[in-house]
Structure 1
């Protein structure tokens, strides 16, 4: 099976399911038509014995070299990803979450664009609840530099677990910074603002697992405050205008504070079709 000069980056923490981690890893390595040259698994703090044993099995059985970075403490996603970038031996990195499933041609499609000179390439993704082959919705991101930049003023233009990027481009903007659950949105905005070449593939090349609590986690005062802090940063850096800032603060703040059931209906019925790519 052919490989290319990129590293798979897979962060894992105590709350992850061992079986889901194996499925995520195998779909992103064993099953790919173009495999990564290596995989970097970052264990973010102590994990249950079953998960630790599963990580050891993946290292032993993987068809490509695996670097397992075990952090003594849980440092959070942003720092775990940065530690993984430090460990990666290749100039390009492909993100993967520990409970999602990659489509077999995902990396081959993304690598074509990276090889053509793009700095960041995302894809569409299909959400599923228990069966990856039975999606409940599809997230179609904006395509083309102008549409991506315009979309980023109101929503995350990249589905974050689908990202493939050049490490040098991230180095130029300071890599990941802690920002609640919006570190990927914040990274994407900084890359766009710095002039990075970005693109999306519209097709859903990743299956994204959503559980019963997914919409509850997207809301509450904590998430609303993070949203408002992000909007202040976008205004400060001139990425959004004052009117755009005011609209975003009101509309996105209201969304964060709605009950989970209402958010689910709105997102599935309106947002996922009218505002594609909003991963935050």
Structure 2
């Protein structure tokens, strides 16, 4: 499989990165709905990482407020590792990450690290994950556990995923078993031609994990909580019909690709879809129950 060329819908606005190669690319997308202060915290959490050998590409997904643009430009002028790209219109996270990947190909990186504009990476996140992947060359995708924080940055929960490849792939037909904002992906995955499905506006990570699992790539999750994930008040209301249906499609896709089409998996997928469409209070209760069940599965 070959990696397509950069889209005409994407261009680089600012690039003072002084090196022709780098071991690691960190990529984040921002759009008009992001909170400026949270974007500031997200950027600061990357540029102050203990691990320093990376380029940080921020993809502006369509038009954004002047205040946010100025924040990103100021950060880029202060740190030459920050590169600014922009989509001509709001294309979504999948296309934004694909553009970042395609742009970074010429830098011959080994790793691609995800970051979201409303989250905070802990200071040793990249050092921990890159060190682990340097020692475990068979791992293609490495995620981690995370802390959940509210709008004020207060700890409100945690999300720990199954650690080993067998558990991660076994559970894929029922749930997305990696925390997307925490992952570091070996760049050879993209050189082999595997990218996000650009037409997807959500669940793009779920479909990618299933495709990679079906093609023999190895996964791992660290139990370290290396990211502070922003869980806002309307977290349980935001999924909507589109995301709920795409999650259902992803589960069916996983059953087919991983040869796990069973009555239980079909029942689970249908039950989750029905729950997603219920009032937010019911969804909130189901979310808490799901976290509890996942914790028990991981322990056993």
Fold equivalence (TM over 0.5): yes
Q: 1:225 aligns with which of 242, 245, 258?
A: 245
Q: CA deviation at 1:145?
A: 1.1
Q: CA deviation at 1:173?
A: 5.5
Task: Answer whether contact 2:174 2:269 (CA < 8 A) is retained.
Answer: no
* Larger deviation, residues 16-25 vs 228-237: 228-237
Q: How many residues align?
A: 268
Task: Answer whether contact 1:153 1:239 (CA < 8 A) is retained.
Answer: no
Instruction: Indicate how the Cα distance of structure 1 residues 170 and 128 shifts in structure 2: closer, same or farther if over 3 A, else same.
Output: same
Q: 1:129 aligns with which of 140, 150, 153?
A: 150
Task: Answer whether contact 2:148 2:155 (CA < 8 A) is retained.
Answer: yes
1:92 aligns with 2:111: yes
Structure 1 residue aligned with 2:225: 204
Instruction: Indicate how the Cα distance of structure 1 residues 160 and 125 shifts in structure 2: closer, same or farther if over 3 A, else same.
Output: same
- Can you give the 5+ residue segments of structure 1 that lack an aligned partner in the other structure? none
Structure 2 residue aligned with 1:215: 236
Q: How does 1:183-198 map to 2 (within 5 A)?
A: 183-198=204-219
Distance 2:218 2:250 in 1: 22
Instruction: Indicate how the Cα distance of structure 1 residues 180 and 275 shifts in structure 2: closer, same or farther if over 3 A, else same.
Output: farther
1:109 aligns with 2:125: no
Instruction: Indicate how the Cα distance of structure 1 residues 158 and 10 shifts in structure 2: closer, same or farther if over 3 A, else same.
Output: same
Structure 2 residue aligned with 1:25: 43
Structure 2 residue aligned with 1:167: 187
What is the root-mean-square deviation of aligned Cα atoms in Å?
Answer: 1.7
Q: CA deviation at 1:22?
A: 1.4
Task: Answer whether contact 1:40 1:87 (CA < 8 A) is retained.
Answer: no
Q: CA deviation at 1:223?
A: 2.8
Q: Give the TM-score taking structure 1 as reference length.
A: 0.90
Q: Give the TM-score taking structure 2 as reference length.
A: 0.84
1:176 aligns with 2:192: no
Structure 2 residue aligned with 1:42: 59
1:141 aligns with 2:157: no
Q: CA deviation at 1:239?
A: 3.9
Distance 2:55 2:265 in 1: 42
Q: Kindly provide the CA deviation profile for residues 125-179 of structure 1, in whole angstroms up to 9, marking residues without a partner as x.
A: 11111233x3111000100111111121211110000010112213435310133
1:77 aligns with 2:93: yes
Distance 1:267 1:72 in 2: 36
Q: 2:83 aligns with which of 60, 67, 85?
A: 67
Task: Answer whether contact 1:193 1:239 (CA < 8 A) is retained.
Answer: no
- Aligned partner of residue 223 in structure 2, secondary structure: strand
* Larger deviation, residues 229-238 vs 182-191: 229-238
- Aligned partner of residue 237 in structure 2, secondary structure: helix
Moved over 6 A (4+): none
Structure 1 residue aligned with 2:7: none
- Aligned partner of residue 236 in structure 2, secondary structure: helix
